[in-house]
Structure 1
C-alpha cells in the first residue's frame, strides 16, 4: 500500500513534463519556397570541362530528388568583358557544361544566370585560384576492418592556406561463376561478350576542407579522404581512387565549412544549431530572395592511385543446378557451361551468379584502367 503514493507522484511528474513539451516547427522547416541552388566549379586549366547544376531547395521531410532548374541561360564573364556560355546537358536536366576554355587568370570572373521566368542572378567577382600539386595519395590498412586513404600536399610559397578535396572511386569486381554459353533465338550458342567482370564507380558528395592558416607552414599531411570498409568488397579485385584538390579563398572556405557544419552533424543537442548560409550569388531582380551556392573556379589538381590488396571475400553463388537443353530453353537461369558427354546436361545458375551487371556495374572498362 505504501508504494501507491510513490507511483502516483512519479506519474504526476511525468505528466507535468509532457505537458510542458510543445511542438517546435520553425518556419524554415515548413517553408514551401523553392530557392535557387547553384553547385559547380569553373575549371580554368584549359583541358577540363566545367560542370554546374541548378536546382531548387526542398523541405526537410521531402525525400524525392531536388527539382532541377531547366532552360536557364548560364554564362561567365571576365572583368574585361569576355563572355563564356554554358550549354545544357542533353541527358541530365538542370546540368550545364562549358567545354574547355582558356581563361586569363590575372582578372576576376563573375557568374550570370537568367531563368525562364526572367529572374537574373549574379555572383561577386572571383579570382581563379591555382591549387598546388598533390604530393601523394597514400593509404593505410586498418586491421581487418577497412582502408583509410590520405592526401598530402604543400605550397612552397605559403599562399594557398585553404583547401578542398573531392574524389571519384572505381572498382573492378567479378561474378561468382563464368558464363560460357547463352541462349539466342532459342539456340544455345557460345557467349560472344563476357559478363564475368564489371566496373562500378561512385562520386563523393561529402564536404572535405582544411586550412593551414593556423600552422607555421602551408603543409598538409595525412588529410583523411575516405575510409573504405572491407565489407563492401570494393577492395577484393582492384580499386582506384582519383583525388581532386582545389584551392579556396578564405570566404569560400568559410562557406563550405558552414555548409558542412549544417549538413553533416549528427543532430544531437551538442551539435551547433543550423545557421543561415550565405554564398556569393544574389538575385538581381529581387535582392531579398535567398540564393544558395558559391561561385568559384581555378585549376584543380588530381592524383589517382590503385589498390590491389585483395581485401574482402570471394563472392558466393547459391542455386547452381543442372538442366537438359530443352529445360534450359524454357528457363530464366543462365548457363555456365556444358557437362562432358555422355551426360550433356548444362550447368545453370541465377543471373546474380553469372552476370556481373546484376550487381550494378557495367562491362565498360574505364580508359584509365590498368
Structure 2
C-alpha cells in the first residue's frame, strides 16, 4: 500500500469515527483481523453505539449518519429522528427507549428500567421512520473482577516545543485485580475526573473596539467551580499474558499535572469493564486507529468490525458497537501536595463557569 493512499484512508477513517468517539464519554492484544475500508467518497454510513452495564440506568444509545469525508460532522441526520429503539434480554424483558435528545435515546432510570446482569444476553433493535431496521448480534455480559486497588505514581516528563524543554509531568495510574483462571477474559478501562478551580473574575478585561486597549470590567461571579473531565483515550487488554494471576500494574489512566487540573485536587474514578471477545476485537481496532501518530509505522487503516447490521441489507456497513459489560470501579484522589514541584496556581481572569463542563455546585463527594 503506497503511503499517500494510506494517509488518505487514515484521514477518512478518523472523519467517520469522530461522531462516535464524541459519544464515548457518556456511555468508554489479541488476534484481530482488520478489514480494509473501501467505499465511495460521498457515502454516508449509519453509526450506532451504546452500552448496557451492571450499573443502574439510564443507558444511552447514540444514532446518526456519518458525514462524508470532509463534511460537517456536527449535523444530525433527520432520518434518525423519532426512531423506535429497544433493548431486550433472553428472558423476554424488553424496554422501548425514549428520545432524550436528537439522535440520543435512553432507558428509564433506576429500578424502573432494564438493568444488565452478568450472564444475561442483550440485543439492540433500531427501527427508523423510513422503514430501515438495524439490530445487534446477541451480546452476553461477562463477569468482571473487582478492582482491588488503583495506585498512582507521579512521573516527571519533559516535552520539546519550539526548541524549548517544557515540563510535561503527569500521574500514571495502574490497576490491581485478580484475573479469573481457566478462561479467556477481555477488559476495557476508562475514567472520569473532577477537579476544583479557583479563578479571578474581578480581573476580567475586554478590548475596547474603538481604541483597541484592554478595559477593566470586573465580574462579581464566580471564583470557585468544579470541572468534569471525561477521558477520550481507549485502553483495552486481554489476559493472554496474565491468565489466572493477580495483576499488579495494568496501566489504566494518565492524568496531566497542570495549573488547571491540579489547582487544588483531582478526583478520578477508574472503571473496569468486562468485554466479550467480539467487543474486544472491536475496541482493539478502535484503540489502534485513535492512537495513530502519522508515522509510516502506523498500522494500515482498518474497519473496526461492528456487531450491528441492517436487517434487510446485511451487506450494508454500519459503524459502532452495542455492548454488554459488567463494571468495577475505584476512586483515587490526587492532591497538589503530592507533587514535589507543583505548577503555578491557575491564572484565569474570568468567571469560572465559562470553563467547559464546569459548575458552581459542589459535588456530594467533595
**CA apart distance, 1:159:** 4.2
What is residue 161 of structure 1 aligned with on the other side?
Answer: 185
Q: Matches of 2:3 and 2:317 in 1, distance apart?
A: 32
TM-score, length of structure 2 as denominator length: 0.73
Q: Distance in 1 between matches of 2:44 and 2:329?
A: 35
Task: Compare CA radii of gyration and give the structure with the larger one.
Answer: 1
Verify the 8 A CA contact 1:111 1:123 in the aligned structure 2: yes
Q: Is the 8 A contact 2:86 2:96 kept in 1?
A: yes
Q: Which residue of 1 aligns with 2:152?
A: 139
Pair 1:126–1:369, CA change in 2 (3 A):
same
> Is 1:255 the counterpart of 2:282 in the alignment?
yes
TM-score (norm. length: structure 1): 0.72
In the superposition, relative to structure 1, how do residues 308 and 73 fare at CA in structure 2: closer, same or farther (>3 Å)? same
For 1:150, the equivalent position in structure 2 comes to 174
> Any stretches of 5+ residues in structure 2 without a counterpart?
10-36, 157-166, 204-218
Determine if contact 1:161/1:218 at 8 Å carries over to the other structure. no
Cα distance in 2 for partners of 1:218, 1:49 equals: 34
Q: Following TM superposition, by how much is the alpha carbon of 1:121 offset from its aligned partner in structure 2, in angstroms?
A: 1.0
Q: Distance in 2 between matches of 1:227 and 1:262?
A: 19
1:79 is matched with 90
Aligned Cα root-mean-square deviation (Å): 3.0
Contact 1:171/1:239 (8 A) holds in 2: yes
Q: Which one has more relative contact order, counting CA pairs under 8 Å at least 6 apart?
A: 2
- What residue is the counterpart of 2:26 in the other structure? none
2:150–2:174 CA contact under 8 A, matched in 1: yes
Q: 1:315 corresponds to which residue?
A: 346
The answer to whether the Cα contact below 8 Å between 2:273 and 2:328 also exists between their aligned partners in 1 is: yes
Change in CA separation of 1:53 and 1:251 when aligned onto 2, cut-off 3 Å: same
Counterpart secondary structure, 1:167: strand
Say if 1:131 and 1:160, in contact at 8 Å, map to a contact too: no
Give CA-to-partner distance per residue, 1:246-277, whole Å, 9 cap, x none.
Answer: 10112211111112223321232211111233
1:185 matched to which residue of 2? none
1:170-202 CA deviation, whole Å, 9 max, x = no partner?
1101014779xxxxxxxxxxx9x8621111112
Unaligned runs of 5+ in 1: 1-19, 180-190, 317-351
Q: Matched residue pairs, number?
A: 301
Cross-structure match for 2:135: 122
